[in-house]
Chain A
């Protein structure tokens, strides 16, 4: 938005954004299209798009005059790809939920809007039409992934189940990347009896650029949903910085491990299930998985929202736990240190988390321990401090990722409030989120 000063002048001269204007200031004359003011920068500067394509900002002061020359060129719409039915390829459904992969850059302002329909997403990757038959496309909502809640997951799960039960072979879900691994975990628990491929796909580079990574992710997701015999919720994105292959990562064993790289999503404590090449080659890594079967899936979306994830850190104040107790929370997942430590035998009594954890459990909260090391497995007995915490009744979450434990605890608490049942369910794998064996190579290394 421009400053009031500029808005008044524009109103008086009946000049609107996208009009052709002439700005005169001292000896300087600029002709071009009036651009809207972007959020950043000086609100007292008028942004004008010159004939050579450049935008420049000209500070509007007493010496500046502005004239309207006419209407600007009408800008075109985003291309859409019509879905043509070929009836020879596997039927796959697409659900677009938002995120970078579903952004539309307004080329005029550079503003990024999340308003792409599945058809628009397809226009970035027309190759999909030669791989799968897109029988239907849906847009339940359009949100950046950081704005999603469990209610959106519930909607998503129901929609995926409906699509799969109406006969398609698989579903592709386009999604923002920041919380993508929470969503894949949620879908892994909510879709009971799943036996068809559900591929979550995101992008780290937006579709306005030639280097849009979502294009290959979509291609690989199409091969996966159309042809793979893996019947699970998977996350399919770049395996490396190269545009050659994608990893098929299990929805409960994957995490965003980098803020911006294409290959940000890497498996944790497990190999990827498979690798998919752009040309359709699918190479499985030998991990046991649910096999493809044409049978019905149930969306079981019961949920307890009063569950939190907290992180232990040096100098932390355990009173945070009391806050959750007072707010009547039902579950807490702690990201402890190493094997599952929290400050326990501290020199100052008030620094220890132990009394607060005991209090939480006495008040009926269910506490699950995970590790902030990301990789590895927690252990309740190795050190005395661990024993003290586990004796207090904390559930040690094995090799579950903290984020997965959070999602699972919310889902489990949606089903039962019996302490023993909760513990049993938390330690029973529902979607391969726990593995009694840890893969030898399950850590990200530099080379």
Chain B
């Protein structure tokens, strides 16, 4: 399909929760519910409200007609009166604002001089107040992609909504643990040229947000909305596309849908649509008008100058920059991409600086070995502490163990966390052999297997010295000995 001829326009809105200690407008922790049953159930109704233009929003009228009861599940360890709309917001969380400023800077945005908190009218009941507090942090940013530059129209910081638990004809239930957790919203402008490109852009945006080191990684912490329009069609917003790979599918299907409407002489309406499993969509509600934002007067404006100065002093490297730097030190591109995403990335950096070990060996342990141990052998690798890895690689650096023995050492240590690393090696008999010892074994095997091909001999030696000698040394020694015999 020629997307340019179709007049395809795609906009992404990526929402990502931030990993802060407290919520955006109160001092509740940002944890998810910790107990089975909510401490409190609150039942509410919401009324339709007039927008800025004095008219009641179309979306609000739709929702009003339904007159559904809104049920909130409230937890006393992560909700307070601010969450239940029983107390005005507290001062905005400075930690969250700094992270948002960091992220906006990573997207090359122009930062506003004074942040104004706004109330965005939300009519589905997911916020007990009836609106979402949101603030614009930066505008006019950009990112580079393989297919060209893409504009980042805006980066804003907002409070997350409650999550829907169930819905029927008469009521809808939301859980309020997540409500109020700070999240950034990154919206793209021009530059996305195809459905596949949208996927690449979404991935890139996610990576940059996570580069801040302060993105919350947990179920439901990322949400992707996709805006799609084509020539003679109209803008449609598809909410909550669950995975990156579904983004191009959703766009393709929406193009088809709009094309067929246009072909049959029907009007494309400005809808919010819900995504189904196969990437097709269904009508959710009409797209709300622009009239739904007005100032939050309970919170005073925030000057950014001093905060930004501080943020710029500690600006994190983006993942791209990191991968590039690793490549220079000899790490393969593939392992680089994996290690930046890994929770062990800081430890990886520390060990590569401290030892002379090939970075590919270290990265491989963190991204592959640990995964294998956990998945295949169900080893509790989460028991391993940073010091354990430091000690392990020190031993390797000093030649006291060989790299082939690492999986055995780690799995023993994970299961016996109070045994010292040096003890583990002794217990497993994995200390590197001294040369004389190895030579004795090699001589013995060669003597007893004179008729065998050399590879077979190497195999036999290896099976006897596994984990105690470098395979490189074994091969060399066997070759040498065999040469002597014949």
A residues engaging B (CB < 8 A)?
27-30, 38, 40-42, 45, 47, 50-59, 73, 75-79, 105, 107-112, 123-125, 204-205, 207-212, 215-216, 241-244, 259-262
Chain A proximity mask over B60-102: 1 for CB below 8 Å, otherwise 0: 1000000000000000000001001111100000000000000
Residues of B within 8 A of A58 (CB): 112-114
Within 8 Å of chain A (Cβ to Cβ): is B257?
Answer: no
Within 8 Å of chain A (Cβ to Cβ): is B398?
Answer: no
| Min CB–CB distance A361 → chain B (angstroms) | 43
Residues of A within 8 A of B134 (CB): 54
CB distance B85 to A52 under 8 Å?
A: no
Q: Which of B122-142 contact A (CB under 8 A)?
A: 122-123, 125, 128-131, 134-136, 139-140
Most chain A CB inside 10 Å of its own CB: which residue of B51, B121, B295: B295
Please name the residue on chain A nearest to B122 by beta carbon.
A210
CB distance A76 to B116 under 8 Å?
A: no
CB distance B53 to A209 under 8 Å?
A: no
Given contacts A41-B301, A107-B52, A109-B295, is CB(A53)–CB(B116) below 8 Å? Answer: no
In the docked arrangement, what's the CA distance between A303 and B121, Å? Answer: 46
Q: Which of the residues B49, B54, B115 comes within 8 Å of A209, measured between beta carbons?
A: B49
CB distance B54 to A210 under 8 Å?
A: no
Q: Which of the residues A40, A52, A210, A262 comes within 8 Å of B46, measured between beta carbons?
A: A210
Given contacts A78-B54, A260-B87, is CB(A53)–CB(B293) below 8 Å? Answer: yes
| Min CB–CB distance B226 → chain A (angstroms) | 17
Please name the residue on chain B nearest to A261 by beta carbon.
B86
Residues of A within 8 A of B120 (CB): 53
Please name the residue on chain A nearest to B82 by beta carbon.
A260
Within 8 Å of chain A (Cβ to Cβ): is B236?
Answer: no
Would you give 27 A-B contacts (Cβ < 8 Å), ordered by A? A38-B297, A51-B290, A54-B135, A54-B136, A56-B113, A56-B114, A58-B114, A79-B56, A107-B50, A107-B291, A108-B294, A109-B295, A111-B297, A124-B47, A208-B119, A209-B119, A209-B121, A210-B46, A210-B48, A210-B129, A210-B131, A211-B128, A211-B129, A211-B130, A212-B49, A242-B42, A242-B43
Chain A proximity mask over B260-295: 1 for CB below 8 Å, otherwise 0: 000000000000000000000000000000111111
| Min CB–CB distance A37 → chain B (angstroms) | 10
Q: Which of the residues B54, B81, B125 comes within 8 Å of A76, measured between beta carbons?
A: B54
Within 8 Å of chain A (Cβ to Cβ): is B346?
Answer: no
Most chain B CB inside 10 Å of its own CB: which residue of A47, A107, A261: A107
Residues of B within 8 A of A30 (CB): 139
| Min CB–CB distance B207 → chain A (angstroms) | 25
Please name the residue on chain A nearest to B302 by beta carbon.
A41
CB distance A42 to B42 under 8 Å?
A: no
Given contacts A45-B113, A209-B49, is CB(A75)–CB(B54) below 8 Å? Answer: yes
In the docked arrangement, what's the CA distance between A198 and B85, Å? Answer: 29
Please name the residue on chain A nearest to B136 by beta carbon.
A54
Residues of B within 8 A of A124 (CB): 47, 49
Within 8 Å of chain A (Cβ to Cβ): is B300?
Answer: yes
Within 8 Å of chain A (Cβ to Cβ): is B334?
Answer: no
Please name the residue on chain A nearest to B138 by beta carbon.
A56
In the docked arrangement, what's the CA distance between A125 and B291, Å? Answer: 21
| Min CB–CB distance A307 → chain B (angstroms) | 33
Residues of B within 8 A of A108 (CB): 52, 294
Residues of B within 8 A of A105 (CB): 294
In the docked arrangement, what's the CA distance between A242 and B48, Å? Answer: 18
Q: Which of the residues B45, B116, B305 comes within 8 Å of A243, measured between beta carbons?
A: B45
CB distance A260 to B115 under 8 Å?
A: no
B residues engaging A (CB < 8 A)?
42-56, 60, 81, 84-88, 110, 112-116, 118-123, 125, 128-131, 134-136, 139-140, 153-154, 156, 290-297, 300-301, 303, 305
In the docked arrangement, what's the CA distance between A79 and B55, Å? Answer: 7
In the docked arrangement, what's the CA distance between A241 and B79, Å? Answer: 14
Please name the residue on chain B nearest to A55 by beta carbon.
B116
Given contacts A27-B110, A28-B140, is CB(A57)–CB(B52) below 8 Å? Answer: no
In the docked arrangement, what's the CA distance between A261 and B128, Å? Answer: 13
Please name the residue on chain A nearest to B289 by beta carbon.
A53
CB distance A208 to B49 under 8 Å?
A: yes
Please name the residue on chain A nearest to B69 by beta carbon.
A243
Residues of A within 8 A of B293 (CB): 52-54
CB distance A41 to B140 under 8 Å?
A: no
In the docked arrangement, what's the CA distance between A260 and B81, Å? Answer: 9
Residues of B within 8 A of A215 (CB): 47
In the docked arrangement, what's the CA distance between A57 and B56, Å? Answer: 28
Not counting A52-B136, A55-B136, a sample of 15 additional A-B residue pairs whose C-beta atoms are within 8 angstroms of each other reads A50-B136, A52-B154, A52-B293, A76-B54, A79-B54, A107-B51, A108-B294, A204-B86, A208-B49, A210-B48, A210-B49, A210-B121, A211-B85, A241-B84, A244-B43
Which 9 interchain pairs have the tightest Cβ spacing? A76-B54, A57-B114, A210-B130, A110-B295, A53-B293, A210-B46, A41-B301, A107-B52, A54-B136
| Min CB–CB distance B128 → chain A (angstroms) | 6
CB distance B49 to A53 under 8 Å?
A: no
Q: Which of the residues B86, B125, B139, B291 comes within 8 Å of A262, measured between beta carbons?
A: B86
Please name the residue on chain B nearest to A263 by beta carbon.
B86
In the docked arrangement, what's the CA distance between A54 and B135, Å? Answer: 7
Residues of A within 8 A of B53 (CB): 73, 75-76, 107
In the docked arrangement, what's the CA distance between A211 and B123, Å? Answer: 10
Please name the residue on chain B nearest to A205 by beta carbon.
B85
In the docked arrangement, what's the CA distance between A47 and B303, Å? Answer: 12
Residues of A within 8 A of B87 (CB): 259-261
Please name the residue on chain A nearest to B134 by beta carbon.
A54
CB distance B110 to A28 under 8 Å?
A: yes
CB distance B292 to A53 under 8 Å?
A: yes
Residues of A within 8 A of B130 (CB): 209-212
In the docked arrangement, what's the CA distance between A440 and B16, Å? Answer: 53
In the docked arrangement, what's the CA distance between A402 and B50, Å? Answer: 41
Residues of B within 8 A of A55 (CB): 116, 118, 136, 295
CB distance A107 to B300 under 8 Å?
A: no
